[in-house]
Chains A and B, each alone.
Chain A
Amino acid sequence: MTTLDTPAPAVPVTPAARAVRAWHTLRSSRTAVIGLAVVAVHVLIALLAPLLTSYDPVANDAGQALLGPGRHHWAGTDQYGRDVLTRVLYGGRYALGVSAAATVLTIALGTVIGCTAALRGGWFDDLLGRVLDAVLSVPSILALLVVVTALGTGPAVIVLAVAVVYVPQVVRVIRGAALAVVPADYVTAARARGEGTWSILRREVLPNIVDVVCVEFAMRASWVVLLISSLSFLGFGAAPPTPDWGLMVAENRTAITVVPMASLAPIIALATLVVGLNLAADGLSKAWGVDRIRKGSR
């Protein structure tokens, strides 16, 4: 009946300790590790492309056009005589860069709007819900095409367009997660202290939905990569000489019977990236779910 009895584990809570714990959680899921490894390899290749190949991804060489896989060109060449492997290695830069920017923007906007809707409630939430319903009822590729046709095809426009298309879905997910946190007494306590919406969001709500946000990020990234590559394929993304997977498939599909590798290679690259992102999202959500059950926290 002493009052100073303390449970045994005296683990200090430092950011480092938190990172270590997150890492252990992550390690516990093989799916997540494999997925993240695949994504990491893609990122590394895109960054180190100039070191991995000696060919120029853009320069034409008519004499080397439409070669099959061989000693000099492992994946052959396309109709302009450019090395396919080189273009695939460089091709990740555009897709990854634009996708990362678009996903970060989408998730950031979606998280802030979703949390605010959950915290504020009332007319703000109602109005937002109806607006999002309206946006969600437009097919995403159609909405994208409209934005791109109206504003041009620069990477900035694409990032913005993707955000417009995907923010409503992210808002839905984050709002749902935040709604579970908002009735908690610690949020009420912050309200009773008279704190503003932004401060409550940052201090009380966000730390408790970080896992949902991360999973949403990984999952949304795979959708965004696909969408951006589809845009390139349709001719609205990367401009022609740029090495880009979607664009490469579009350029080389006429010659698919002559040099199938020219179309297949970018498809394989794209597919592995998307599968990697999906595995990461899946693994993370499971690892965190199990973690929550074990730790008994909400």
Chain B
Amino acid sequence: MTSTVPAAPPADRATAPVVAVRALSVAYRAGGRDIPVAHEVSFEVAPGRTLALVGESGSGKSTVAATLLGHLRHGSRITGGSVTVAGSDVFALTARQLRRLRGSTVALVAQNAGHALTPTMRIGRQIAEAGGDVPVTELLDQVRLPRPAELARRYPHELSGGQQQRVAIAMAIAARPKVLVLDEPTTGLDVVTQRSVLDLVGALRDELGLAAVLVSHDLGVVAHTADEVTVLRAGRVVESAPTRRLFAAPRDPYTRRLLASVPRLDDTGLARVGEDGEREVRPRSAVPADAPVAVTARDVTIDYGTTRAVHGVSFDVRRGEVLALVGESGSGKSTLAWTLAGLRTPSGGTLTHPAGDLARPARSRPRALRSRVQLVFQNADTSLNPRRSVGDAIRHPLRLFGTAATRAEAADRARILIGDVRLDPALADRLPAQLSGGQRQRIGIARALAGRPDVLIADEITTALDVSVQADVLRLLDDLRRERDLACLFISHDLAVVRGIADRVVVLRHGVVVEEGPTEAVFAAPGHPYTRQLMAAALEPDPDARPRAGGTPDSVPGWRDAATPDDVWTDHGDGHRVRRWHPETEAPHETAAATAEETEGAA
């Protein structure tokens, strides 16, 4: 787990490539025409090396990776080139040989392990089913899961996301393959878990001499894991280079723009990316000291049945300010957002807005208050009704909240709002399925703006977007809060994004605030070990990134909570305060992390 990955074998040890893709072209037929998905893609991977296929959605990276397993999506076909794995041409194999290839030579680790595991089968049996002669417990041990014998008897739902992904990896390496295809293996995992899974993959690759093909849109993951990178765009290879060279001196303008779009932990504002990939960081707008407070939360507790998701959280959000709630999944940050939006009721504490009490559910809030607090969802694909045009989606709240008195006025205002989120008003007649992901998210924002809110809750709004689109949406959000003097509650697990947009940060862990303060202060000197661990785990798009404040996640010392009811905070001045904690010397971090992950799985 501790291996820092660049353990790439020296060049002279490089053996014959085990994977060779030559001028591969894939197309699917639609409307009587061939539509290319991949065009003359070529790459090679030697044993013990990792090649990353990088690109935005629709770049064909997953399609190309799947061809290594001889898999093509229904309706697609190879229009040229070849795929050779361990000496055999994959698409010349018979069905039987192909099955053998998939069983023993190439293995796939899919994006969402929670879906890839059969829910009704115990872990041990599932792994045994994957074949191979290696005992199950040994495999589980190999993927660094504690107490393998006990774990093998559990069901998938009893494991945390990170543990599930480790089990999926154990299944993939069960038959001792030569090639491992990793399709977005850490998307959807928390930063700390992501880091440890990637370290595991790196370690296994070295131990077993695997050739790995990593598909990812996350340049941080790629920089951390890959030896070579192939950048794809619209099915074509844009640039192919060793990782270090690519990140240090990208040659293609597209690669440069892509790299520049990634938010960095040391950006002091949002970066604007030029045509040729030059970055220009816009400083954050200063929030006036006398800005009115829009939302006040005091000692809010929220329960799910008998479990308490949020323990006494307090914060203020002022007009024109972006407050970020940061934490891993299960930290209660989304629960807080939903409670503010009136979808849950808090079980204790007060939650107020100048226009009324926010502790009540949306239905019993007066209309004036309802329209003032609006929520933007994480996943724009599901937040718009697929059967209604986007114009309709915006017109409806306009009428509902009384912002527009007549139909004609609603139609006009909807078009203005679509323009305000920097889209073409002509899109009003489209269905959501006819828009791109970024456009849909903008429509989601426009819909939230329909009631002229002064509080906007943004729940992980950029998580599902590509980096360049993410940068645009973040900039839009920043513009809107300046123009409309919005108080914005920005919920995210991505520290680099938070650094760019937030004025203040609240770090949540298991429903408890462990640190809060101005963004600059928290990032410059994180006071709580949990914050340091989060920062250390964040992956930067730079293979030579120096460990930040707290070093690697493993070097963060063990700690225990030392807050007492009358002495909770250590004050660092200027509103920066840290929950009291004590170093725990006797417990090494390794086991602390394991138990943390286990409790998460049991919850």
Smallest Cβ-Cβ distance to A4: which chain B residue: B424
- Return B256 CB to nearest CB of chain A, in Å: 11
Q: How far is the CA of A5 from the CA of B472 in the complex (A)?
A: 13
Q: Are B362 and A13 in contact (CB under 8 A)?
A: no
Q: How far is the CA of A184 from the CA of B378 in the complex (A)?
A: 12
A6 at the interface (CB under 8 A from B): yes
**Interfacial chain A residues near B377, Cβ < 8 Å:** 185, 188-189
- Asked, given contacts A10-B426, A185-B379, A191-B343, whether A297 binds B386 with beta carbons under 8 Å apart, the answer is yes
- Return B257 CB to nearest CB of chain A, in Å: 6
**Interfacial chain A residues near B341, Cβ < 8 Å:** 192
Q: Are A1 and B257 in contact (CB under 8 A)?
A: yes
Interface string of A62-86 (1 = CB under 8 A from B): 0000000000000000000000000
The prevalent SS among residues of A at the interface is: loop
Q: Are B342 and A11 in contact (CB under 8 A)?
A: no
Q: How far is the CA of A189 from the CA of B261 in the complex (A)?
A: 30
Q: Of B385, B430, B472, which one neighbours A204 at CB under 8 angstroms?
A: B385
Q: Are B362 and A193 in contact (CB under 8 A)?
A: yes
Enumerate A159-197 residues with CB–CB distance to B below 8 Å.
Answer: 184-186, 188-189, 191-196
Interface string of A196-212 (1 = CB under 8 A from B): 10000001100110100
Smallest Cβ-Cβ distance to A18: which chain B residue: B387
Q: Are B433 and A295 in contact (CB under 8 A)?
A: yes
Question: Which one of A184, A295, A298 has the greatest number of beta carbons of chain B within 10 Å?
Answer: A184
Smallest Cβ-Cβ distance to A14: which chain B residue: B429
Q: How far is the CA of A4 from the CA of B387 in the complex (A)?
A: 23
Q: Are A186 and B383 in contact (CB under 8 A)?
A: yes
- Return B581 CB to nearest CB of chain A, in Å: 36
Residues of B in contact with A, size category: 35 or more
Smallest Cβ-Cβ distance to B442: which chain A residue: A3
Q: Are A208 and B423 in contact (CB under 8 A)?
A: no
Interface string of A134-160 (1 = CB under 8 A from B): 000000000000000000000000000
Residues of A in contact with B, size category: 20 to 34
- Return B444 CB to nearest CB of chain A, in Å: 8
Q: Are A207 and B385 in contact (CB under 8 A)?
A: yes
- Return A214 CB to nearest CB of chain B, in Å: 14
A296 at the interface (CB under 8 A from B): yes
Interface string of A207-245 (1 = CB under 8 A from B): 110100000000000000000000000000000000000
A122 at the interface (CB under 8 A from B): no
Smallest Cβ-Cβ distance to B436: which chain A residue: A7
**Interfacial chain A residues near B244, Cβ < 8 Å:** none
Interface string of B289-331 (1 = CB under 8 A from A): 0000000000000000000000000000000000000000000
Q: How far is the CA of A192 from the CA of B438 in the complex (A)?
A: 22
B560 at the interface (CB under 8 A from A): no
Q: Are A192 and B427 in contact (CB under 8 A)?
A: no
Q: Are A3 and B438 in contact (CB under 8 A)?
A: yes
Sorted from nearest, which 8 A-B pairs have the closest CB atoms? A185-B383, A207-B387, A194-B362, A12-B429, A186-B385, A13-B389, A185-B382, A185-B377
Interface residues in chain B, defined as those with a beta carbon under 8 Å from any beta carbon in chain A: 257, 261, 273, 341-343, 362-363, 365, 367, 370, 374-375, 377-379, 382-389, 393, 396-397, 400-401, 422-424, 426-427, 429-431, 433-436, 438-439, 447, 451, 468, 472
Additional pairs, 20, CB under 8 Å, beyond known A6-B427, A10-B434, A189-B377: A3-B422, A3-B472, A5-B436, A6-B439, A7-B434, A7-B435, A7-B436, A9-B434, A13-B389, A13-B430, A13-B431, A185-B378, A185-B379, A188-B343, A188-B383, A191-B343, A191-B363, A193-B401, A193-B451, A296-B433
27 CB-based A-B contacts, threshold 8 Å: A3-B423, A3-B438, A4-B422, A6-B424, A6-B435, A9-B434, A10-B426, A10-B430, A10-B434, A11-B434, A12-B429, A13-B431, A185-B383, A186-B383, A186-B393, A188-B383, A189-B375, A189-B447, A192-B341, A193-B400, A194-B342, A194-B365, A194-B370, A195-B400, A196-B363, A207-B388, A295-B433
